[in-house]
Amino acid sequence: MTDPMTAHLNAHATLFETIDTLTENGKLRRLAGAFARFVATLGHTPPPLLLACLLLSELEGRGHSCLVLADLAGDPSPQVGWLDGEWAALRAAAAQGGGSLPRNVNGWRNALQGCEQVWPVGDLDFNQPLVLDGERLYLRRYWRDESTVAASVRSRALALAGPDGEVDTGGIRAWLDRLFPHAAREGGPDWQKIACAAALRGQLAVITGGPGTGKTYTVARLLALLFATAGEAAPALRIALAAPTGKAAARLKQSIDMALDELAGKLGSDLALRDLAARMGGARTLHSLLGARPDTRSFAHHAGNPLEVDVLIVDEASMVHLEMMAALLAALPSHARLVLLGDKDQLASVEAGAVLGDLCAQAESGNYDAATCDYVLAATGETIPPAFRERDGGPLAQRIVMLRQSRRFGGPIGKLANAVNQGDADAAREVLRAESDGRLRWIEGARPGDVLALAVAGRPGAGAGYRDYLERVREGPGGDYEGWVNDVLKRFEQFRLLCAVREGEWGVAGLNEAIEAKLETAKLIRRRGEWYVGRPVMVTRNDYATGVYNGDIGLTLPDPLRPDSLRVWFSDGEAVRSVLATRLRNVETAFAMTVHKSQGSEFLHTAMVLPPQANAVLARELVYTGITRAREFFTLVSPNAAVFDQAIAGRTQRASGLRQALGT
């Protein structure tokens, strides 16, 4: 006799067969089918629920935190990159399981809210795995995280440091005038100064801006201001610096230390800034700040055991995913001031959510209310221009300041990044083709050999690609092993090849192999199995035993004490540290890496390789992020010029309920 569960799954045999075929063909991730099967074991499962679960899981893998019912009622193919009638095939197969599928949003909502696996928000809660909130379907944990973030951001946005009358705007103004002695360069108000004042007004500040707009410069001055205006509390002020990755954390600490040191020189003994820098300690990854525990999703710090901080600065906030932001906000004591720094236009986190983008949805237009404009005038002497005054600005808009003038990125790379950000393909192509000063180069109609030549030898005026560090490796350490390691690591950071995709000849996997072969032919490396001298690797999973984390990049060099064994060296701010190569289990070769993984890093010369065909991940944010990883030189390599236009035409809009919940 067939048990009821098997009988139930059999009723959907055609649908599961179609799901399996799509999975085999790489159109669905395995987890999506497995999740749909799991939900089917939990009770009666009508075909609309199965389809919704399948899509929800597939979308989660692509960074969306929920499924919008309008997409179900319409056609979700664009979000999942289906081009060949996959959605129609799934619908047809689902219909064979019995009954017709809903035709509109109302129909889908009715079908889903009647299912025992779904909790319609507001009904009695039985801890069902799926949550239906208005016109969005969630996996319960994302709904919980989104609710935590929305509630916490709302209450922090509302909490003023005191009625504005009680904030000593005169005192703030006096310090700000010293910290920002020069007027803003391109007319308009000094947004950096305004950002500092805004952050002093409440418990949340978001400072967004493109590369080189002075986010770190501003935040160093904000720290000085907080310290200067804290009065007797100053010596006890607990400040923490954090970022999503170790590399970004190290960069933040380094830049803040430098900026504070420079300020200390200017302000003399009026403010003990060097003491402040020393007391702050290092910058940490968010995982380490929250006390990540191996193999669990929970942290040592949470609402019941909050972080011991008064001020928390988080850099590269665009990389912070929804789950991490929820954990961070839950663990932050309510009195603490949170300052988020990041570029809202960059790619969102690899994991689900686009929190910074959602928070900053209206940052361009400012939307400051009259109270903010009055406060800013009193605290900074700056007048917010009418164009940035209130339209429909709520409390959150008052907490967000966008820095609009880049100090480092004014040249052709900045122009290109701007054009891409505006989706202006004509302007972007024009800047690229002008190849100003050799800063930009576009290899159109590229062949694989062009990428390899670039990787091995760079291009004239823009450095020698990977040849440079490998030749230094070949020279050997001489008498100063650590100096040599430092130099090799620095040279490796001068050039990087970024890919939009992982698979195929133009993806990370194919290019890494091809580059290794080419370097071997050029006698720059000598492979001896997986590990060899000069191999760059990227860590793909946190490993608490060896102290290396997802995204860390290291170089393989001979062990100074036992030349036969290899160690992988990582930069740790100014210092270096190493791990025996054979102890690193989750690593991959990193001559080529994805744009996603390059976030938080910059290279003197960045080359970005686009694939020959457009696909769902290839969007404006990705191209913008790739370009803005270049400090001095940028090369675009594309086998098919049309793909560049297609990529920047599309924006990635991640499905989330956060904008609505926050009114942004």
**Residues that bind ligand ATP in the complex, under the rule CB under 6 A:** 192, 209, 211-217, 255, 407-408
Q: How far apart are CA 554 and CA 566, in angstroms?
A: 12
Cα–Cα distance, 341 to 426 (Å, whole number): 31
State which residue has the least CB distance to ligand ATP: 214
Taking the complex as a whole, the smallest distance from the CB of residue 213 to ligand ATP amounts, in Å, to 4
Instruction: In angstroms, give the least distance from the CB of 179 to ligand ATP.
Output: 10
Nearest to 539 by CA among 531, 547, 548: 548
Of residues 342 and 366, the one with the C-beta less far from ligand ATP = 342
**Minimum distance from residue 284 beta carbon to ligand ATP (Å):** 18
For residues 612 and 506, is the Cβ–Cβ distance under 8 A? yes
- How would DSSP label each residue in 518-539? HHHHTTS----SS--TT-EEEE
Shortest separation between residue 344's beta carbon and ligand ATP, angstroms: 12
Q: Do the beta carbons of residue 9 and residue 44 sit within 8 Å?
A: no
Among 295, 299, 347, 367, CA closest to 543: 295
Nearest approach, Cβ of 637 to ligand ATP (angstroms)?
A: 23
Residue ranges of the annotated binding site are 209-216
Beta strands across the sheet bearing 311-314 = 283-285, 239-243, 311-314, 337-342, 204-209, 400-403
Q: Which is nearer to ligand ATP, 287 or 344 (CB)?
A: 344
* Nearer Cβ to ligand ATP (408/577): 408
Strands 204-209 and 136-139: what pairing? Answer: unpaired
Closer of 122 and 181 to ligand ATP (Cβ):
181
Measured distance CA(536)–CA(469) in Å, rounded = 11
- Determine how many CB atoms are found less than 10 A away from the CB of residue 10: 11
Residue (53 or 259) nearer to ligand ATP, CB: 259
List residues forming the annotated binding site for ATP.
209-216
Q: Which is nearer to ligand ATP, 211 or 357 (CB)?
A: 211
Q: How far is the CB of 664 from ligand ATP (least distance, A)?
A: 22
- Round to whole Å and give the CA distance between 331 and 337: 13
Helix (H) or strand (E) holding 603: strand 603-609
3-class SS at 207? strand
- How many whole angstroms separate alpha carbon 234 and alpha carbon 219? 17
Q: How far is the CB of 408 from ligand ATP (least distance, A)?
A: 5
Distance CA 366, CA 200 (A): 18
Between 443 and 630, CB nearer to ligand ATP: 630
- Residue-wise DSSP of 186-202: TSS--HHHHHHHHHHHB
Q: What span, in angstroms and rounded, lies between the C-alpha atoms of 390 and 370?
A: 8
Nearest to 394 by CA among 663, 626, 201, 170: 663
* Sequence-separated (6 or more) residues with CB below 8 Å from residue 89: 18, 22
Q: Give least dist CB 255 to ligand ATP, A.
A: 6
Residue 238 beta carbon to ligand ATP: minimum distance, rounded to whole angstroms = 23
CB of 409 to ligand ATP, least distance (A): 8
Angle at which helices 169-179 and 370-380 pack, to 10 degrees? 60
Cα–Cα distance measured from residue 420 to residue 418, given in angstroms and rounded to the nearest whole number: 5
Task: List the strands of the sheet with 67-68, edge to edge.
Answer: 67-68, 136-139, 130-133, 118-120
Residue with Cβ nearer ligand ATP (79 or 192):
192
> Which residue number, 255 or 615, has a Cβ lying nearer to ligand ATP?
255
